[in-house]
Structures are given as C-alpha cells and as structure tokens.
Chain A
Amino acid sequence: MQSLKIALAGVCVALAACAAEVAREPSELKPEASPRSFVLRDSVKYVLDSRYERVLRGYTEFVEVGSIAQGRVLRSTNAVMTVEGKHVHEAYAVVKDGRLVGFYLPVERSFSPLSQPVSLTLEERKTQ
C-alpha cells in the first residue's frame, strides 16, 4: 500500500512537470510602413498563462513592427522577450489601449494571449 502511494505521488509529480504547449492561434502581421519607437517608463511584471513569471524592465525600448487583429505589435530592441510552456518562443509585445494583451510569435506567426493583461506606460521617442 505504501509503495502504491509513492508510485501515485511520482505520477503526480511527473504530470505536473509536463508543461503544456504555449496557447496560440495563427495571426497575420500587417507591417508598419513608418514604424514608431517607444520606451517603457516603469518595470512591469506579468505572469504567462503557463505560470512562468516575466519582468519587462523600465527603459526597455520597442519599435512598432506592425499590427495584428489583437493590437499593435512592438518588438523590443534592447531586451529579449520570450513566452514559455513546453517550449520557449521569442515573442513581440501585443499592445491594445495601453495594455499588454498578448504576444506575437514571429517564428510561429501566431498570437498568444495573456489572460491577465497588464498596463504598459510607453512613451513615444521622437526621431531627431
């Protein structure tokens, strides 16, 4: 009986260790003809749906690469952004109404939603 309990506990641990694939849906990126640049004023912490935590540091710089149905797509130029589940994928921020609502995965050409969107304070950088 004791060994059965240990085996069951082992199976539970094994199942918990198996992260699911990052949820995503195909999305078409419409490139931005005249991309604007932004800088994030304050650090922001968010939790991916896979429960991995991420931090976007203040002064992270972004360039607007285009838009998808879910919002504007901003690529960070001085920091790496990834989403992680079973695998790790490079990600661009998808912003709508001043909130980070998800991610555009450039390799998979997909949108991955963020169930708990967070506010981003972005300042546009004017080109000289």
Chain B
Amino acid sequence: MNLLRLASIASTAALLAACASGPKMAEVKSSIPALKPSEGRIYFYRSNSMMGAALQPEIKLNGKVVGNSKPGGFFFVDAAPGPQEVTTSTEVEKKLTFTLGAGETRYVKTSIGFGLMVGRVYPELVDNAVGQKELEDSSYTGQPLKR
C-alpha cells in the first residue's frame, strides 16, 4: 500500500515537473520586442493540461526546430513573410501550413490527441482573439528576453 502511495506521489511530481514553469505572459509582455515591419510573428503555445504532459515533442518551423511543445508553455518566433509549415513529430507527423504576412501575428496551439500506441501532439492555427486570451495563462519557455 505504501509502495502504491509512493508511486502515486512520484508520478504526480513527475507530471508537475513536466509542466512549463517560466514567467507568465503579463510578466514578460513588456520585454517582448516590437515586431519588425518586414517580419511576421508566430506564437506557439499549449494548454496547461496534465493529459500527455510527459509528451513534449520538438516543434519545427519550415524544417527547423524552434522549440518544444510543453504543457502551459509559450514562445514566439519572428519569421520572413510567406508560406509557413509547422510540424510536430510523435507517433505520426502532423503538419500545419499557413501564410504569414509582414507585420502579422498568428497563433499556433499544440494539443494532445491519442494514437494507437502513444499520444500525439497536433498543431492547430487558432483565431487571434483566442490565442491572445489563452496566452495570458501560459508561461514563457522561449529564449531569454532582454529587460
């Protein structure tokens, strides 16, 4: 019985450790640099759910790794305008394609789904209003920001 309780505590601790623990959007908002007029910005984020928390695959933008999908985490990437391709590789690769305009900001949410053997992480393009609202509860997991 004690062993079972210990295992339960250990797994809960592991799940909590798997969640993003950086500063909230409100704390870093003023440190996020202004977007250059010649570029667009993509925010990547994931809701803070315990489901599949241990699954934190890399996120690739146009074939280049730009970060990881962490529960409750967000980061952003500034990119040249044009076609964009986001991929996340877990059991299967799910691709998202969209366009990015100069001066435009877009929001990509990664979500957990369930495959045959393991969970999968799907990228999804969301409305800006939804993305802005959901980012408020997320923790920053990107590159250090200058104060």
Contact = CB atoms under 8 A, between A and B. Distances in A.
Nearest to A15: B116
A3 interface: no
Interface in B76-109: 83-85, 94-99
Contacts of A17: 115-116
Interface in B106-133: 115-116, 122-127, 129
B97 A89 contact: yes
A6 interface: no
Interface residues of A, number: 17
Contacts of A78: 127, 129
A105 interface: yes
* Interface residues on chain B, size class: 10 to 19
Contacts of A105: 97
Nearest to B116: A14
Given A88-B125, A90-B99, A90-B125, 15 more contacts: A17-B115, A78-B127, A82-B124, A86-B94, A87-B95, A87-B97, A88-B96, A88-B97, A88-B123, A88-B124, A89-B97, A90-B98, A106-B83, A106-B98, A107-B85
Contacts of B97: 87-90, 105, 107-108
A31 interface: no
Contact of B94 (A10, A87, A106): A87
A88 B124 CA distance: 7
B121 to A, nearest CB: 13
A73 B96 CA distance: 21
Nearest to B113: A17
B116 A107 contact: no
A27 to B, nearest CB: 15
A23 interface: no
A88 B111 CA distance: 13
Contacts of B84: 107
Contacts of A107: 83-85, 97-99
A63 to B, nearest CB: 13
A72 to B, nearest CB: 19
A83 B83 CA distance: 16
